[in-house]
């Protein structure tokens, strides 16, 4: 009996057993990570200590897993972003330097003028709508826009980006792709026009922008300036992506998503959404529609949500998703966090509540119509 293990300590996530003889030799045994000591008097031993040690070992393992998983995804995401960022920004520089946008000004001016933006803003907006946030940033970063102009472009792209892929995902999970796309485009235009009333954005390029797009600067100088700016922007985005992906990895490793859903229940009510869509909403808000598409589609297929609940959900997340990563990617350009996060959130809230009011109004009209009809 004297050689039975009485205490356990953690050493590099391995359980180490000490016998009573070891106990008397050491006097007391430190338990790594807990700051506790087990006295040589065996009567003071408590079974809870073993549970705490195992929990601490599990915590360390989950922490390492979260860090490693997040770092892997961060590196993969950064490489994927660079594969889009570099060629798109390079082509944008060449198009702008060639003066091609100037020749298309007659066509783009009326459309961009409605958004209080210069014609050149059409390029990052179109690229963003077709390819995604990274492509839009790549095109915008190398053009000489003012901060307010970049802010309006960012708001538009944050709502309407990657429309084809994300439209298909929304179509598979409850909302027709064409309807989802039209909702987002309308929300982008309305939000940008509203935000422009508080910003000093004009539909004119500054003088530096006009010179830049006229081919006046030597191409070598333009490409060198592009290379320097891309290196700076890439380093900033790498730091942001790695930090966000590691944070998300830790959240997944510790199963924090469900706890966050409960925490955000009051927020869901304010957004006009049912608590039953909580996990889908949080998935889209944290990971985006494209990354969280599999979860959204599978949950929708389960059939636990009504068509109306799915419609309100898709309207909300179509306007306001990937709230962690996407807005943060624009911060290296010197844009205000307020304009990157708040306007589309407000638009999502207003849109869902208007849809709810419309649904109730239509339901009442149908009830009145059915009452008028003869039995």
Does the pLDDT at position 106 exceed 70?
no
- Cα–Cα distance, 119 to 282 (Å, whole number): 36
From start to end of the chain, where are the E strands?
5-11, 14-19, 28-31, 36-39
The contacts of residue 352 (CB under 8 Å, 6+ apart) are: 271, 272, 273, 312, 315, 316
pLDDT > 90 fraction of the chain, expressed in percent and rounded: 22
Q: Are 136 and 128 in contact (CB under 8 A)?
A: yes
**pLDDT tens-digit readout, 143-187:** 889 999 999 999 999 999 988 878 887 887 778 889 999 999 999
Q: How many C-beta atoms surround the C-beta of residue 164 within 10 A?
A: 12
**pLDDT tens-digit readout, 183-213:** 999 999 999 999 999 998 776 665 445 444 5
Kindly indicate the confidence band of residue 257, based on its pLDDT and cuts at 50, 70 and 90: low
Residue that is written with structure tokens 């009567």 in the block: 43
**pLDDT tens-digit readout, 4-35:** 444 444 444 444 444 445 544 544 444 433 33
- For residue 47, the model assigns a pLDDT of 52
Tell me which DSSP letter residue 200 carries.
Answer: -
Tell me which DSSP letter residue 28 carries.
Answer: E
Q: Are 21 and 2 in contact (CB under 8 A)?
A: yes
Q: How many C-beta atoms surround the C-beta of residue 276 within 10 A?
A: 15
- In the structure encoding, which two tokens stand for residue 129, read together? 């709508």
Q: Are 8 and 29 in contact (CB under 8 A)?
A: no
Strand partners, 35: none
| 209 three-class SS | helix
pTM over 0.75: no
Residue of higher predicted confidence among 208 and 63:
63
Length of the chain: 375
Q: Which parts of 99-113 fold into alpha helices (H)?
A: 100-103, 105-113
- For residue 316, the model assigns a pLDDT of 94
- For residue 220, the model assigns a pLDDT of 86
310 Ramachandran zone, left/alpha/beta (phi>0; psi -120 to 50): alpha
Measured between its terminal Cα atoms, the distance across the chain in Å is 89
- For residue 192, the model assigns a pLDDT of 97
- Cα–Cα distance, 268 to 277 (Å, whole number): 9
Kindly indicate the confidence band of residue 320, based on its pLDDT and cuts at 50, 70 and 90: very high
Does the pLDDT at position 312 exceed 80?
yes
- For residue 32, the model assigns a pLDDT of 39
- Cα–Cα distance, 302 to 243 (Å, whole number): 34
CA of residue 186 relative to chain centroid, distance:
21
Q: Are 58 and 46 in contact (CB under 8 A)?
A: no
- For residue 159, the model assigns a pLDDT of 96
Q: What mean pLDDT is predicted for residues 116-136?
A: 87
Q: Are 269 and 306 in contact (CB under 8 A)?
A: no
- Cα–Cα distance, 256 to 262 (Å, whole number): 10
Residue ranges per domain, the chain?
Answer: 5-45, 64-360
**pLDDT tens-digit readout, 83-104:** 767 887 788 778 777 777 666 6
Mean pLDDT, rounded, of the chain: 77
The contacts of residue 119 (CB under 8 Å, 6+ apart) are: 101, 104, 105, 108, 109, 112, 203
CA distances from 313 to 76, 281, 306 (A): 29, 7, 11
Q: Are 158 and 133 in contact (CB under 8 A)?
A: yes
**pLDDT tens-digit readout, 321-364:** 989 889 998 998 999 999 999 999 999 999 999 999 998 888 88
Q: Which parts of 271-324 fold into alpha helices (H)?
A: 278-291, 293-301, 307-319
Residue of higher predicted confidence among 360 and 81:
360
- For residue 33, the model assigns a pLDDT of 37
């Amino acid at each position: 009996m004297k050689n039975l293990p009485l205490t356990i300590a953690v050493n590099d996530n391995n359980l180490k057993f000490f016998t009573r003889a070891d106990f008397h030799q050491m006097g007391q045994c430190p338990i790594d990570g807990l700051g506790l000591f087990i006295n040589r008097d065996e009567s003071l031993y408590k079974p809870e200590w073993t549970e705490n040690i195992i929990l601490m070992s599990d915590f360390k393992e989950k922490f390492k897993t979260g860090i490693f998983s997040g770092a892997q995804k961060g590196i993969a995401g950064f490489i994927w972003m660079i594969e889009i960022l570099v060629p798109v920004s390079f082509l944008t520089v060449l198009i702008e330097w060639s003066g091609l946008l100037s020749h298309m000004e007659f066509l783009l001016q009326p459309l961009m003028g409605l958004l209080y933006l210069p014609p050149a803003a059409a390029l990052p907006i179109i690229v963003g709508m077709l390819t995604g946030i990274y492509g839009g940033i790549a095109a915008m970063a190398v053009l000489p826009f003012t901060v307010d102009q970049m802010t309006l472009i960012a708001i538009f792209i944050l709502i309407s980006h990657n429309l084809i892929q994300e439209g298909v995902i929304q179509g598979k999970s409850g909302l027709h792709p064409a309807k989802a796309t039209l909702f987002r485009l309308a929300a982008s235009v309305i939000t940008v026009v509203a935000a422009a009333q508080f910003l000093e954005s004009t539909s004119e390029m500054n003088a530096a922008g006009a010179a830049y797009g006229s081919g006046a600067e030597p191409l070598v100088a333009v490409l060198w300036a592009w290379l320097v700016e891309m290196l700076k922007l890439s380093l900033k985005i790498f730091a942001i992506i790695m930090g966000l992906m590691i944070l998300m990895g830790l959240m997944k490793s510790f199963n924090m998503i469900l706890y966050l859903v409960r925490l955000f229940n009051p927020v869901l009510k304010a957004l006009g959404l049912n608590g039953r869509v909580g996990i889908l909403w949080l998935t889209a808000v944290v990971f985006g529609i494209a990354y969280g598409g599999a979860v959204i589609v599978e949950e929708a297929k389960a059939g636990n949500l009504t068509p109306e609940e799915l419609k309100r959900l898709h309207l909300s997340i179509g306007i306001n998703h990937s709230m962690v990563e996407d807005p943060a990617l624009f911060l290296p350009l010197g844009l205000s966090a307020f304009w990157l996060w708040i306007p589309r959130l407000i638009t999502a809230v207003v849109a869902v509540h208007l849809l709810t009011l419309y649904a109730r109004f239509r339901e009442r009209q149908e009830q009145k119509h059915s009452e008028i009809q003869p039995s």
